Chains A and B, each alone.
Chain A
């Protein structure tokens, strides 16, 4: 069934013929290859235009970029292009889409578990650097909502690849308990110019001129902290920390979480000269509870497993040890996006992180990321 292109560069993918009395969109729904919304038909022309925009490292359509779970299926540049077309992406987004695939499937991101376990983790994608401007991404008003084509299709393209190539079909191998909007797509760019801090990718070791896709594994969001009255960085962080304390279950701990700070909240931090390290330190302080208050309680519900004191042989002194909402300050990830009219910070949380409470040196979180090559 393989077909070759006259000029030798294109597709080995099977050609599917849709009769003229069939509706193309309905046909694709019937084939089970959509995410529940209509997809753009991946015609040869569209796929070729996508392939033509591949970066120089990915010139061969049959080159394997990644092995996609749950079936650990090889994703070729060609299959990536087909699914990117279906997601509605423009060819110029293709380098960013391939970087997102590399970040997701490179081994650092828990891609297999995000599909095959019930947690319903999905990658939240943050794009930094000049490429976000070149492809017209939105970091302003409604940056995490609908409406912008690049923001909307980057995440969707990856999701379609996971479904169509990896075999992640809800109810079959995919097991998310409830899912959420983030399971379709959740991509945004950072307002690097307005941020009081260095851009997110620079914080994580890239050059300012690099363009980078970074991923945070989240179970949902936004949990919005709207605080229009705090005038100091400390008061504002207290407010955000109390909102954060409630995520998942108030007594439990959580894995890395993204805080998206709006420009007006960023102003408060700028005015007081607060660094991200100051914010992390304050959140650790404000959410700290003695370990015994993070244990599952008969009246206040779940927390660290009730058997932990026995299992780890915890002393009374250890039970008084303060334990914050996250095991390590690096779990608090911060970026800036949104309109300039609103004092607003959104929390996109990870999954429960109630590990061994005696662990002295919890791991440091480094967001899975990849450079966008053009």
Chain B
């Protein structure tokens, strides 16, 4: 006799998505999103200085997730969308 069981898994197949086209060069404002792991801020501090050296005229803005444990809350996402052109997220260990 054949046994029938019901599939316990998420049966959705992920929709294929694609990357945003890249412009020629950095411009405008780069969001530096700190995922709030210990020590990530020290890394981002230096990265921010270096970014200014590499791309003069490009601005940076710092954002911090309140907790590493969840995706960024809606207000932070909206602020980044409104205020920035690029996003660098760091630093997961």
Contact = CB atoms under 8 A, between A and B. Distances in A.
The answer to whether any beta carbons of A and B sit under 8 Å apart in the complex is: yes
Interface stretch (B22-30, B66-74, B79-87): B66-74
A42 B6 contact: yes
Contact of B4 (A17, A164, A165): A17
A44 B6 contact: yes
Contacts of A41: 3, 5
Nearest to A40: B5
Given A110-B67, A167-B10, A305-B38, A15 B1 contact: no
Contacts of B38: 305
B2 interface: yes
Contacts of A78: 6
B3 A18 contact: yes
A84 to B, nearest CB: 10
A175 to B, nearest CB: 10
| B contacts with A: majority SS | loop
Contact of A164 (B2, B9, B70): B9
A37 interface: no
Contacts of A13: 6-8, 11
A17 B8 CA distance: 13
B69 A114 contact: yes
Contacts of B67: 110, 113
B3 A24 contact: yes
A165 B9 contact: yes
Q: Which of B5, B38, B70, B93 has the most CB of A within 10 A?
A: B5
A109 to B, nearest CB: 9
Contacts of A20: 1-3
Nearest to A68: B10
B54 interface: no
Given A112-B71, A117-B69, A305-B38, A17 B2 contact: yes
B6 A33 contact: no
B57 to A, nearest CB: 30
A73 interface: yes
B12 interface: yes
Contacts of A307: 42
Contact of B69 (A14, A24, A73, A112): A112
B4 A44 contact: yes
Interface string A33-68: 100000001111001000000000000000000000
B69 A110 contact: yes
A114 B68 CA distance: 10
B3 A43 contact: yes
A39 B93 CA distance: 34
A317 interface: no
A107 to B, nearest CB: 8
A73 B5 contact: no
A18 B6 CA distance: 11
A82 interface: yes
A166 B10 CA distance: 7
A82 B2 contact: no
A14 B70 contact: no
9 contacts: A14-B11, A18-B2, A20-B1, A24-B5, A43-B5, A44-B6, A79-B10, A112-B71, A117-B69
Interface of B: 1-12, 38, 42, 67-71, 93
Smallest CB-CB A-B distances: 6 pairs? A113-B69, A110-B69, A73-B10, A14-B7, A13-B6, A164-B8
Given A17-B2, A78-B6, 11 more contacts: A13-B8, A13-B11, A15-B6, A20-B1, A41-B5, A42-B5, A73-B12, A74-B12, A118-B93, A165-B8, A307-B42
